[in-house]
Structure 1
Amino acid sequence: MTKTTPEQNKALVLEAFETLFNKRDYVAAERFWSDRYIQHSAHIAPGRNGLFDLVRTLPDTARYENQLIVADGDYVIAHGRFSGIGRPAPWIAADIVRFEDGKLVEHWDVLQDEATKAESASGLPMFGDRFPV
């Protein structure tokens, strides 16, 4: 059994998301996601193949950017933006992943359309220090 530290897990999540969502390198991405991957998202079909198949359907303009990442033991939460995904607004996401044997083995998410300045009751952006243009 491979045991990774919270710092290693954070680095693995960032590399995994870059490899799958931005580079679209499905073969390389297999090394990050367990073949026993459990998907809890309402937007993604079960398993690693469900995730990979979803990414295959996204436009070439799709990108993932990370704003914040925290880890506690085998769990990582990544606060990021999925843009260019063919929706009216980018998605701001809190992706929660669990590690086992050094691989992403389970996933939950909380997704929200990114608010414009006019839509923001707080007057603050949801991601970074600027509103989307």
Structure 2
Amino acid sequence: MNEHEENKALVVEAFDTLFNQRDYVAAEAFWSPNYIQHSAHIAPGRDGLFDLIKSAPSTLRYDHQLVVADGDYVILHGRFSGRGDQPNWIAADIVRLDGGLLVEHWDVLQDEATQAQSTSGLPMFGDAFPTAKGPS
């Protein structure tokens, strides 16, 4: 496996460990203690991210569709579903790695459109539209 494939696998495993398994102890092995958070809706550092997930509904789930790597940067195109009464989020998460740890993060988030909301007539994630409140 080349470096790009290793970096992609590491970030996918990190996201699954934190967002889906909610194993905060195991997640510490992926996120640097000096983690830099650029997202406007998340408090600084690794603790800010972990605290956000701890406060999220237990139904929260993350699924990725596309993973791209360039050197120490990995970009995931994914869906955050199970947000209670809130629409799913479609996310482009950009992560910088250093020494096998996630050290920096940026994201772009957008509410997932239903079929009735989609001007293009195409789903934003996968090959099916979500229901009004959750994934397809």
TM-score range, shorter chain: over 0.9
Question: Aligned pair 1:53/2:51, yes or no?
Answer: yes
Alignment of 1:31-50 (within 5 A): 31-50=29-48
Identify the residue that residue 7 of structure 1 maps to in structure 2: 5
- AA at the equivalent of 2:122: L
CA RMSD of aligned residues (A): 1.0
Question: Aligned pair 1:86/2:102, yes or no?
Answer: no
1:73-105 deviation digits (Å, cap 9, x = unpaired): 000000000001235210000000000111000
Provide the rounded CA distance (Å) in 2 between the counterparts of 1:21 and 1:99: 18
Provide the rounded CA distance (Å) in 2 between the counterparts of 1:41 and 1:26: 20
Provide the rounded CA distance (Å) in 2 between the counterparts of 1:100 and 1:58: 28
Provide the rounded CA distance (Å) in 2 between the counterparts of 1:48 and 1:109: 15
Question: Does 78-87 or 41-50 show the bigger shift?
Answer: 78-87
Provide the rounded CA distance (Å) in 2 between the counterparts of 1:67 and 1:104: 20
1:129 to 127, 130, 136: 127
1:108 to 89, 106, 109: 106
Give the structure, 1 or 2, with the largest relative contact order (CA under 8 Å, sep 6 or more).
1
**Percentage of pairs with the same residue:** 73
TM-score by length of 2: 0.93
Provide the rounded CA distance (Å) in 2 between the counterparts of 1:73 and 1:28: 24
Q: 5+ residue gaps in structure 1? A: none
- AA at the equivalent of 1:48: R
Shift of 1:5: 1.5
2:63 to 39, 62, 65: 65
TM-score by length of 1: 0.95
